[in-house]
Homo-oligomer: A and B are copies of this chain.
Amino acid sequence: MKTSIAVVGGTGAEGSGLALRFAGAGRPVRIGSRSAEKAQEAARRIGGNCSGHTNADAVSDAGIVVLTVPLAAQIETLKAIRASMAPGAILVDATVPLEIAIGGRISRTLTLWDGSAAQQAARMLPGVPIVAAFHAMSAEALAHLDHPLDCDTLICGDNAEAKAAVSELAALIPGVRAIDAGPLDNARLLETSAALLISLNLRHKVKHSGMRITGLPVGAGA
């Protein structure tokens, strides 16, 4: 599998934060954006082994593609990258179906025909291992390399090897524990829990609430 990680939507707050953490851990990162220039700017800010590309170029040489775009851009972006993805590459979908996509609130979710944004991605990329993860990571917290995070990330998908690879990716971020949350069918639960954290952030005027699951056995990781 190719060693680079593509972060599509990598100029956004969440994508930039994840790219910073992966690059900070020494992994080659390819930032994707609709604009190659903006992606290159973001890559320069991050430094390390980080380069900027159009979305389609970013994914062409990546073993793992992390999709961090707003819901309203998810389908269009998947159409833009699907022909360019490397054989065997994994798609990590972090999309949260927030009502803001149709002019509503950021603390409410939409019900999608496929059940979840991750399942929508799976329908659009037949044959590609899809993993839902990184939904509720605070962009604010990711942005400070010297601060460990304090949250779990729940991971679901139907391909055990892909989940394990994404779990390793999560482990690159200090303070993050990856937890196996079952098949892709559970992605709606993860996406909804992200909306809950967004709602708590708004209510309590913070930007970095997170979630920890207690009471799990050691080794509950994906």
Contact of A213 among B154, B186, B197 (CB under 8 A): B197
A126 on the B face (CB < 8 A): no
Interface stretch (choices A6-14, A27-35, A198-206): A198-206
CA–CA, A109 to B215, complex, Å?
Answer: 22
CB of A189 within 8 Å of the partner chain? yes
* Separation of A213 and B214 alpha carbons in the complex (Å): 11
- Quote the shortest CB–CB distance from A116 to chain B (angstroms): 12
Interface of A is mostly: mixed
- Within the complex, what minimum Cβ distance (angstroms) separates A218 from chain B? 10
Which residues of chain A (8-46) have a CB below 8 Å from chain B?
none
Q: Pick out which of these stretches binds chain B: A59-67, A77-85, A177-185.
A: A177-185
**A212 CB-CB contact with B under 8 Å:** yes
What residues on B are CB-neighbors of A111 within 8 Å?
Answer: 111
- Does the CB pair A211–B212 fall under 8 Å? yes
Q: What are the residues of chain B within 8 A of A179 when measuring CB–CB?
A: 200
The answer, yes or no, to whether A151 is at the interface (CB within 8 Å) is: yes
A189–B200 CA distance with the chains assembled, in angstroms? 11
* Number of A residues with CB within 8 Å of any CB on chain B: 37
Rounded to whole angstroms, the CA-CA distance of A204 and B192 in the bound complex is 21
Using Cβ atoms and an 8 Å threshold, which residues of chain B touch A197?
A: 213
Cα distance A189–B198 when bound, in Å? 11
- Provide 21 A-B residue pairs closer than 8 Å at the C-beta atoms, listed in order of the A residue: A141-B215, A150-B214, A150-B215, A154-B196, A180-B203, A182-B199, A188-B192, A189-B195, A189-B199, A192-B193, A193-B193, A200-B213, A200-B216, A200-B220, A205-B217, A206-B215, A206-B216, A210-B214, A211-B213, A212-B212, A212-B213
- Other CB < 8 Å A-B pairs besides A107-B186, A150-B214, A189-B196, 4 of them? A181-B199, A204-B217, A210-B214, A212-B212
